[in-house]
A and B are shown apart, each in its own frame.
Chain A
Amino acid sequence: MSERLVGHPARARLFLADEARSRFHDGALWEIRRRRDRRARDLPEWQELRALAARIKAHMLGRLPGYLEQFEANATRHGAVVHFARDAAEHNRIVLELLRARRITRVVKSKSMLTEECGLNPWLEQHGIEVTDTDLGELIVQLRKEPPSHIVLPAIHLRTQDVAETFAAELAAPPLADPVSLTRFAREHLREKFLAAQAGITGVNFAIAETGGFVVCTNEGNADLGTALPGLHIACMGLEKLVPRAADLGVFLRLLARSATGQAITVYSSHYHGPRPGAELHIVIVDNGRSSIRAEPEHRRALACIRCGACMNTCPVFRRSGGHSYGTEVPGPIGSILAPLRQPERHASLPHACTLCGSCSAVCPVGIDLHEQLLALRRRQVDGGPAASAAQAPVATRGKRWLVALVAWALSSPQRTARLGAWVRWLGRRLPGLLRAGPLAAWSDTRELPPLPRRSFQEQYAERRARATPDAGAQQGVGREEPS
């Protein structure tokens, strides 16, 4: 049965095989969701902030080319060098050239989903450059040669024992059994990396058009150490990270950490305007498919995402199936929109990794209509929108369309309806067995058909009416048929 599963369901099954782990994952993320709720309730203006954030981002996306030029001019004025990259390959080439020109071989990187998206680490390693991920969670997954499973909590799929084993195997750590000693060990290990680094690469949380500066938010202080010591700072950002004014940060910094981890603000919100004295600052602005999403009115709002991860923490599918089940660098509800927009065929299963419960849209700090967009992507698979193809629409979805047409025809006449009813009741009693063995086995594996009665409502009604005395009929009404 399981060999029929492809895409998200197949990968989810791998994670669910370890039930204790899956339960821990579910519970840990739900606790973060609850902390987020408490923080949101602290602020009477929470909904007002969400609305402001959505409008600021919508405005920015409308005037994106102008703001990009403004940002570039202001950043340059402060002494930064701004580069543009159309795609991941161009981004990677720019970064490599910057490092090579300075004969740099040791780089520290702080968490950046963009560099994950571009596959920067393997590319630099291929060219003889040592890249150390310095966020603790990122370091753990890097040592395990795994991708992060969550954009804010990269190692949330792992337990303490896993980390202890990884540190022992990869860093020759002594046997350590608790999070505190493991974190202390990583601190000492990474301090040496920070002190020896020749360049620091960071992501960007927000870039400010009117000042040419940008903000990086962390709790660990890794981005700060990575940029305070080496002589070169390379900041990589998607072009949607812009906000028009510095004052807009008031809105976004209030929303980000509260939504992400339930903190009132991250420990460090660092603002960079130009390089340190005697050092260099380069900013790489990347498109890599973002401009195509901007061109789609139905999905443009997805570019407002500030990568807080709240949609993942609340998603009943994500909490149970784990981030790796999505097979994308950004998983969860927002990832299930962004990835299929870029590669519809490869990620065709993702819009279906959703119950349409709408919880993601309810918590999104920038008001993205996530579940509506997921539904729209399913519709596109069926109707063949701009990015759909026949191969993409799953067999079940196409079958459903025929079935709906057939049922509509049957229901348009009472005789046909009665015959259809009899047929369905007959079939219903035999179907579960057929489904489990047939081509729909994957679908029926986790679903149970309700028991169907032997006779239709009309038949039962006629029979009771014939049998009933006037008194009894009034008292009993129409009884419910026991399932057969």
Chain B
Amino acid sequence: MNAREALLARLRAQRVEPVELPALEGNFVRYADARERFREALGEAAGVVVSVGIGSTLQQVVAGLDVVREARRWVSLTPEVAGNLEAPELPHHFRDIDVVVVPARFGVAENGAVWIDGAAAPVRAALFLAQHLVVLLPQGELVDNMHQAYARIGSTLTDQAFGCFMSGPSKTADIEQALVVGAHGARSLTLVEY
């Protein structure tokens, strides 16, 4: 008998009283001002939020960000913004990219996370190997909590091999509990609302 059969047979032979699967209903948190809560939560996660005001374009705002102005090579994964270079096709080539601009599907007010999947970032290394991230989020694309987030993702979860809730830039506190922003992934995350 192979390991699979042996294991399943062993588990089936055990008597475990059944427990009903609970419905995921509850009085889950909602926010009167989800946008404000989202900004606050992303701020706590060391992310920066920038809005596109009246009279300026998304391209202008992104190109005017400090990380972009200082970048030698920056790429955009969406036609809404043009970088100064085409995005590489091979994952390893993102090592030389200073800034990646990527669109998010929606944000989560309770924790400042955005949902980005393979449809937005076909080469997922773009999200982790580039030095800085600029995330684009259309205004109003917010849910209050994670339950709504999964409801919104729905069956699209399995359309892509990869999908990620991302809340702020990479960080660590592994040395004496001192928070250091910029561990292995992006060293900064700027969210642009438009």
Binding site for B on A (CB under 8 A): 24, 28, 31-32, 43-45, 48-49, 52, 55-56, 58-59, 61-65, 68-69, 78, 83-86, 90, 134-137, 140, 153-156, 158-160, 163, 178-180, 182-184, 187, 190-191, 194-195, 211-213, 219-222, 224-225, 228-229, 239, 244-251, 253-254, 261, 263-277, 287, 291, 294-295, 297, 300
Contact = CB atoms under 8 A, between A and B. Distances in A.
Most chain B Cβ neighbours within 10 Å, of A221, A246, A266: A221
B92 interface: yes
A180 B185 CA distance: 15
B114 to A, nearest CB: 11
Given A246-B150, A291-B14, A59 B20 contact: yes
Nearest to B18: A62
B83 interface: no
Given A191-B184, A269-B164, A52 B24 contact: yes
A429 to B, nearest CB: 48
Interface string B1-39: 011101110111010111111101011110000000000
Contacts of A31: 177
26 contacts: A24-B176, A43-B29, A45-B26, A52-B24, A58-B19, A59-B19, A63-B18, A65-B11, A83-B3, A86-B3, A90-B3, A137-B174, A153-B173, A153-B177, A160-B178, A187-B182, A224-B164, A228-B125, A229-B91, A247-B24, A250-B146, A271-B164, A273-B163, A276-B162, A277-B161, A291-B10
B148 to A, nearest CB: 8
Contacts of A212: 158
Given A59-B20, A136-B174, A268 B183 contact: no
Nearest to B2: A84
Nearest to A87: B3
A61 B14 CA distance: 11
B103 interface: no
A269 B115 CA distance: 10
B175 A225 contact: no
Given A220-B185, A229-B125, A251-B147, 15 more contacts: A45-B29, A52-B24, A65-B12, A68-B8, A84-B2, A187-B183, A190-B184, A220-B172, A222-B184, A225-B129, A225-B185, A228-B127, A249-B150, A265-B112, A273-B163
